[in-house]
Structure 1
């Protein structure tokens, strides 16, 4: 009897625990998939919300396929939270951010008030900290208009472009809200953000390049052809194709397919002198040979050395750029703080100037993986470096 009594009591408790966590129905929610933030007059912001438009069960399937899967709402205001609240007056629904995929911030806004914009996204409990943030060249809302190439919504299309551009092409960085908070709140106080631009010749939106940012604003940009080398230095390169020019006077180039890459940054403090060493190891297979013939291991070693020299030159060029901008996006200052916390207190006030002139040694090692497939026939021409 006691067992039956306990079972009935637990069953009653379970009945009291059932129910929905909110009284708001799905038909009262507007699921925001993407946000675009632009600058207006003076301190006014233009915020565009891309809202998923679910198909009605009363519409014929043929008409559903022709209708757009999203709707864009643009409003003005002095703050993001104010504009998001006012979106209800247009959509007639509560804006739900739990499914947001991408946040676009125009370059104009990023150069003036980046930190104040990001504060809302970090504090709002509905927005996932894993949501990517991207800088746009030109108006951010323009990248949420038109028809998506493959996905159902433009926001989803941009999200997919960012994901593949970083992990499979090595053309940009994927930075989330949490990543950005860690980078800007670290002792280095610098961050990297992805960029989306419109190619004027083909009128296509392309995700490539990296923006350099300080806590309060964007301070510079790394060109798309240099982005891979910054990712290699930062240990953020996963996979991609790297070009090796045939010569200074030739426009031809050969390619290496990077299958694995890792780097190690070692800061050094001797007295008052600060320096750093970066060791980069690359495992790659040859993609194309147009001006080099490899017949044996000696030829392969010479080709690997050629690749190492070229990659080192490109990385030194990138390091020179970020030092001129005084953006410690490689986190050298933070690593120095972890190694020498007491001495860092004296270094931090003048760290940007020290960082800009400190010597940074770069060592590159390239291992070619497909040496057993080096037969130059039938398509390769016999040539020399």
Structure 2
């Protein structure tokens, strides 16, 4: 009896030890680390892929199609372009130019040109969501010029352009959005999206054209998947305040009596939006609590005195309210697009009443009355002595 049992166990072991039948060797793969999307004069999509090929020496140069893009030798980065009437066709064209199988699971950044975004991005990004390999946590950016020009840059501190872009996004100084965030915003009824914009600094004296760094500036505003405009850095930080996403902020005030400036760094900030609906009249109370440290005092105020510290807190409240009011003037009154989350709060807090106004939200949003309730505290006045 034992013999048949042992034979069965051995046979089962052979079945379980069949190995990795679908294993793919890294040296046989073209690993996509970044993607740039442009449209050419013929209306075709140009997909530029930043490819890391394991086993290469990484001593190429330049940034042209099909050439290595990092002279530093830290990492082999090759750019290759595929063209087509859709993302899928462009990728098929790209595959024809590569001797290796494409792997999408390491794609970290998707850069879309402004010209592309103005024609609409919803349908084309559908590929990156439906395909099983691309990461939904990949960061999405809008470039001021051609997107592929961003990928030709050679960062001095990071191994690749896409890695440098990820570091910029994760710094949380301005806006950031992943592919998952973007698709969630596209699903929302208002269809309002705000994405970080990137550009390249002009080369300094003695630098090669590919040596400038990419930097974030402004934010792109999209409605129903199409870019309709942009907002500057200050307005972007105001949007982050409204959305309770502010993590980095330095506020500088110049009180009339202080004869100089005082700068404060945000330690903690929280925003709560409290919506009210009264006979079709819409009101939003913006409640903010912020705790800051003084990081520079060039004024005549002695911040060790309680009265001066309280006066500074009032100045801080006024400055934050001014910034948020400026944001409303642009976003609510001028652009008339809800990228600050008012509609979502009305839907969440008043779901039954929201059903009656959501169809007219584009017209209702500019009419929402906004009140501010800001509690600003200065935790530490700094280590400096009296000025």
Do these two structures clear the TM 0.5 threshold for a shared fold by scoring above it?
Answer: yes
1:288-299 correspondence runs (5 A): 288-293=296-301, 294-299=303-308
Equivalent residues of 1:31, 1:99 under 8 A apart: yes
Distance verdict in 2 for CA 1:154–1:374, change over 3 Å: closer
Number of positions where the alignment pairs a residue of Structure 1 with one of Structure 2:
367
1:244-276 Cα distance to aligned partner (Å, 9 max, x none): 3456xx9x7432111111100111111111111
| Cα distance in 2, alignment partners of residues 343 and 314 from structure 1 | 31
- Indicate the residue corresponding to 2:66 in structure 1: none
Is residue 232 of structure 1 aligned with residue 241 of structure 2?
Answer: yes
Equivalent residues of 2:29, 2:53 under 8 A apart: no
- Indicate the residue corresponding to 2:292 in structure 1: 284
Distance verdict in 2 for CA 1:88–1:127, change over 3 Å: same
Equivalent residue of 2:218, what SS?
strand
Equivalent residues of 1:316, 1:362 under 8 A apart: no
- Indicate the residue corresponding to 2:320 in structure 1: 311
Q: For structure 1, which segment, 122-131 or 191-200, has the greater mean C-alpha deviation from structure 2 after superposition?
A: 191-200
163, 166, 188: which one pairs with 1:159?
166
Q: Post-superposition shift, 1:191?
A: 1.8
| Cα distance in 2, alignment partners of residues 6 and 174 from structure 1 | 59
Equivalent residue of 1:209, what SS?
strand
277, 300, 304: which one pairs with 2:309?
300
Q: For structure 1, which segment, 200-209 or 33-42, has the greater mean C-alpha deviation from structure 2 after superposition?
A: 200-209
Is residue 184 of structure 1 aligned with residue 189 of structure 2?
Answer: no
Q: Post-superposition shift, 1:43?
A: 2.6
1:34-70 Cα distance to aligned partner (Å, 9 max, x none): 000112124311110000032349x9xxxx9647520
Distance verdict in 2 for CA 1:10–1:128, change over 3 Å: farther
1:48-67 correspondence runs (5 A): 48-56=48-56, 66=73
Structure 2: tracts of 5 or more residues without a match: 60-70, 205-211
Distance verdict in 2 for CA 1:81–1:332, change over 3 Å: same
Q: Post-superposition shift, 1:23?
A: 5.0
Is residue 146 of structure 1 aligned with residue 150 of structure 2?
Answer: no
Q: Post-superposition shift, 1:364?
A: 2.1
TM-score (ref. length: structure 2):
0.86
| Cα distance in 1, alignment partners of residues 250 and 360 from structure 2 | 38
| Cα distance in 1, alignment partners of residues 368 and 109 from structure 2 | 37
- Indicate the residue corresponding to 1:383 in structure 2: none
1:88-108 Cα distance to aligned partner (Å, 9 max, x none): 211212211100110000111
Q: Post-superposition shift, 1:135?
A: 0.7
97, 105, 108: which one pairs with 1:90?
97
1:122-142 Cα distance to aligned partner (Å, 9 max, x none): 111101111110111101111
Equivalent residues of 1:104, 1:134 under 8 A apart: yes
| Cα distance in 2, alignment partners of residues 272 and 341 from structure 1 | 14
Q: For structure 1, which segment, 153-162 or 2-11, has the greater mean C-alpha deviation from structure 2 after superposition?
A: 2-11
TM-score (ref. length: structure 1):
0.86
| Cα distance in 1, alignment partners of residues 231 and 180 from structure 2 | 22
| Cα distance in 1, alignment partners of residues 19 and 372 from structure 2 | 60
| Cα distance in 2, alignment partners of residues 241 and 129 from structure 1 | 31
Equivalent residues of 1:114, 1:215 under 8 A apart: no
105, 120, 124: which one pairs with 1:117?
124
Distance verdict in 2 for CA 1:5–1:90, change over 3 Å: same
Q: Post-superposition shift, 1:6?
A: 8.1
1:222-250 Cα distance to aligned partner (Å, 9 max, x none): 20133222212211111342333456xx9
Equivalent residues of 2:30, 2:100 under 8 A apart: yes
Equivalent residues of 2:43, 2:85 under 8 A apart: yes
| Cα distance in 2, alignment partners of residues 10 and 279 from structure 1 | 69
| Cα distance in 1, alignment partners of residues 203 and 235 from structure 2 | 21
331, 350, 354: which one pairs with 1:344?
354
Q: Post-superposition shift, 1:3?
A: 12
Structure 1: tracts of 5 or more residues without a match: 381-385
77, 80, 88: which one pairs with 1:81?
88
Distance verdict in 2 for CA 1:65–1:334, change over 3 Å: closer
| Cα distance in 2, alignment partners of residues 10 and 332 from structure 1 | 65
